């Protein structure tokens, strides 16, 4: 599938800030499931800094925006050919040991309810257990935009019984880690939901490390594994760690952010 991405993030400050430094995970991952045909990231008034590939295989690009500045627009556009690998992250080079992703973070901290949900899941093998955990999370947390926020934890989303893709991913990560399965958060894009209806184009899911198979993606929000409709950007311990854009501004102004994302299918 050939997918075209148009992603704009606008930062507005109510007073000029002296400068802004950002770190981007906005370059599609390099693995067998996707091939970048063209890709460009621009930042208004920005100067490119260091670029490197971290231990998890993600491309990190630094940017500096000299002030005074009251508005910054990060524009991402490009075309990617994708292939359905049934969620398997084949051909992805990284050096971080999978067991590092057993570490608990604040958004993925296990509580009694999450532990009980994870304990009820069963499978004939590790892969079967991973699928069962993803199904359990999908059953326990209904997809509903607007009911949670950026800092909602997995435990809070489960107690509420509703949430968005970030909450599903955090809950699955928490459950998997409680069963001894390394798990991590993945950010990216999604063309459409399983039934073909529009979905949040900026998307997130989880990857679980299954012995003998490696990292496999699971998307409880859509009850599926990532396929050709998905573009993978980067990963981390949780949503904050895997954020496509992270940054800091020098100044005391309040910041407002607006994001628009469109993912379209192109005729090949």
Q: Are residues 168 and 66 in the same domain?
A: no
Domain containing 183 — which CATH number?
3.10.620.30
| Whole-number Å distance between alpha carbons of 41 and 43 | 7
Q: Are residues 216 and 200 in the same domain?
A: yes
Domain containing 37 — which CATH number?
2.60.40.2250
Q: Are residues 126 and 74 in the same domain?
A: no
Q: Are residues 69 and 39 in the same domain?
A: yes
The average confidence (pLDDT) of the chain is 94
Confidence tier at 267 by pLDDT (50, 70, 90): confident
Provide the pLDDT for residue 31.
97
Provide the pLDDT for residue 132.
98
Strand, helix or coil for residue 81: strand
pLDDT in tens, 185-229: 999 999 975 555 546 679 999 999 999 999 999 999 999 999 999
pLDDT in tens, 117-173: 999 999 999 999 999 999 999 999 999 999 999 999 999 999 999 999 999 999 999
List of residues 6+ apart from 162 with CB closer than 8 A = 141, 142, 143, 144, 147, 148
pLDDT in tens, 104-130: 999 999 999 999 999 999 999 999 999
| Whole-number Å distance between alpha carbons of 1 and 267 | 9
Q: Are residues 58 and 28 in the same domain?
A: yes
Q: Is the separation of the CB atoms in 130 and 88 below 8 Å?
A: no
Q: Are residues 221 and 147 in the same domain?
A: yes
Q: Are residues 99 and 51 in the same domain?
A: no
Provide the pLDDT for residue 201.
78
Q: Which domain holds residue 205?
A: 82-236
Q: Are residues 229 and 189 in the same domain?
A: yes
| Whole-number Å distance between alpha carbons of 108 and 99 | 16
Q: Are residues 27 and 111 in the same domain?
A: no
Provide the pLDDT for residue 223.
94
Q: Number of structural domains, the chain?
A: 2
Q: Are residues 127 and 225 in the same domain?
A: yes
Q: Is the separation of the CB atoms in 53 and 8 below 8 Å?
A: no
Q: Are residues 208 and 117 in the same domain?
A: yes
Provide the pLDDT for residue 200.
67
pTM, full prediction: 0.94
Q: Are residues 63 and 113 in the same domain?
A: no
């Amino acid at each position: 599938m050939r997918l075209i991405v148009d992603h704009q993030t606008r930062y507005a400050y109510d007073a000029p800030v002296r400068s802004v430094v950002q770190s981007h995970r906005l370059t599609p991952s390099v693995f067998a499931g996707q091939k970048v045909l063209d890709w460009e990231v621009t930042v208004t008034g920005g100067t490119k800094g260091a670029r490197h590939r971290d231990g998890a295989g993600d491309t990190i690009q630094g940017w500096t925006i000299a002030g005074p500045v009251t508005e910054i627009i990060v524009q991402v556009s490009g075309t990617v050919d994708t292939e359905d690998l049934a969620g398997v992250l084949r051909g992805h080079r990284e050096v971080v040991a999978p067991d590092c992703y057993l570490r608990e973070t604040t958004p993925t901290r296990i509580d009694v309810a999450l532990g009980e949900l994870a304990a009820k899941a069963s499978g004939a093998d590790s892969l079967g257990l991973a699928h069962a955990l993803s199904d359990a999370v999908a059953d326990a947390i209904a997809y509903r935009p607007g009911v949670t926020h950026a800092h909602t934890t997995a435990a809070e989303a489960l107690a509420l019984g509703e949430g968005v893709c970030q909450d599903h991913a955090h809950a699955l990560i928490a459950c998997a880690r409680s069963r001894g399965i390394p798990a991590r958060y993945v950010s990216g894009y999604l063309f459409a939901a399983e039934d073909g209806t529009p979905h949040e184009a900026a998307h997130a899911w989880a990857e679980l490390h299954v012995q003998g198979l490696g990292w496999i993606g699971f998307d409880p929000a859509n009850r599926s594994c990532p396929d050709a409709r998905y573009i993978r950007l980067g990963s981390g311990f949780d949503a904050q760690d895997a954020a496509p854009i992270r940054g800091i501004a020098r100044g005391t102004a309040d910041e407002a952010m607006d994001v628009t994302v469109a993912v379209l299918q192109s005729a090949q």
